[in-house]
Amino acid sequence: MYDTVIKTDQLIPHVEDKNWLIFDCRFDLADVDKGQRSYTESHIPSAIYAHLDHNLSSPVTPDSGRHPMPDIVKLNRWLASCGLTEQSQVVVYDDSYGAMSSRLWWLLKCLGHEAVAILDGGWQAWDNQGFAVDSRLPELHASNFYAELNDHCVVSTQDVINNKNSDEFQLIDVRTNERFSGKLEPIDPVAGHIPGAVNMPLMDNLDENGFFKTAAQLKAMYSALCESRAAENQVYMCGSGVTACHAVFALSVAGPGFAKVYAGSWSEWIRDPDRPVATGQE
C-alpha cells in the first residue's frame, strides 16, 4: 500500500490496474478551466479528472473562504461514480508539485481511506521522463462507496477564535513569507495573517527539483513544532484551505502524525472585518 509518496516508476506497472484509481488534479487559480483543458489534451493513462471547484469544494458563500469544504454526500457520490472502493489504491497528481492534489489526498484520508499517495514530481516528472500519456476519457465503473468524514481533521473559524489562547493549538500558515507578512497579497483583498500564527511556506517541503524532501529532511524541518505540540494540535492554513493540505502531507511523510486543516483559512477569516489581522513576522 502506498499512503504518502509514490514514484513514477512505481506507478507505471499499475496504470491499467483495475484496483488502482489515478486522479489528475491540475488546477490554475487564475484560469479555473485550464487544468481540465490540459487534462483533455493529455494525461496519465486511465486518470480521472478531479476539478478543485466542482468536485473537491462547495460553492463559495458570503461567509466562506474561496474553497469551502465539499458537501460530503456529493463528494462520496462523485467518488463512487469514479469507482472508488475500500480496496482501491489511489494516486493523485497535479502540475504544481502537490499543492492541488494534496487536497484530494487529505479528503480521502479524512474519509478513512488510507491507500492514497501523491505522485512525486507530479505531471512534470511523468511527462519529462517520456512515459505514456493519453487523451481518452477512462471507462468508469461505479461502486457503492460511502464514508463519513472524520470531524477531527477539520478546524472551523469558530474553533480558531475559541482556541486563540490555547497552548495546545498552533496555527501554521503555509503561504509565502511575503503574503504572511503582508508585504504582498496577489489573491485576497486583505494582506497579513492571523495573530499568533507562524509561517512555514509549503515550498520548503520540496527540493530544488520540485520533489518532496526525504522523510529525514522533513522530520528535521518540523521537529521544533513537533517537540512543542503533537501533530493533532497543529492546525495548518493557507489562503483557502487547499495548499495547507500540502503541509499535512509533508508532516505525514516525516512521520509524527496527522495534523488538522483550518478549512476556511485566510480568505474566510477576513470575511469579517472585526477579526484581527497582523502584519510583519511573528
Q: Which of 153, 226, 238, 245 is catalytic?
A: 238
Q: Helices H, strands E: what count in the chain?
A: 10, 10
Nearest to 261 by CA among 228, 237, 233, 227: 237
Please indicate whether residue 245 is annotated as part of the active site: no
CB-based contacts of 66-69 (< 8 A; 24+ apart in sequence): 66/187, 66/188, 66/239, 66/240, 66/267, 67/103, 67/240, 67/241, 67/242, 68/241, 68/263, 68/264, 68/268, 69/154, 69/241, 69/263
C-alpha cell at 164: 486563540
Residue whose C-alpha cell reads 476556511 in the numeric block: 264
Tell me how far CA of residue 119 lies from CA of 26, 62, 78, 201, in angstroms: 12, 35, 22, 20
**Residues with catalytic roles:** 238
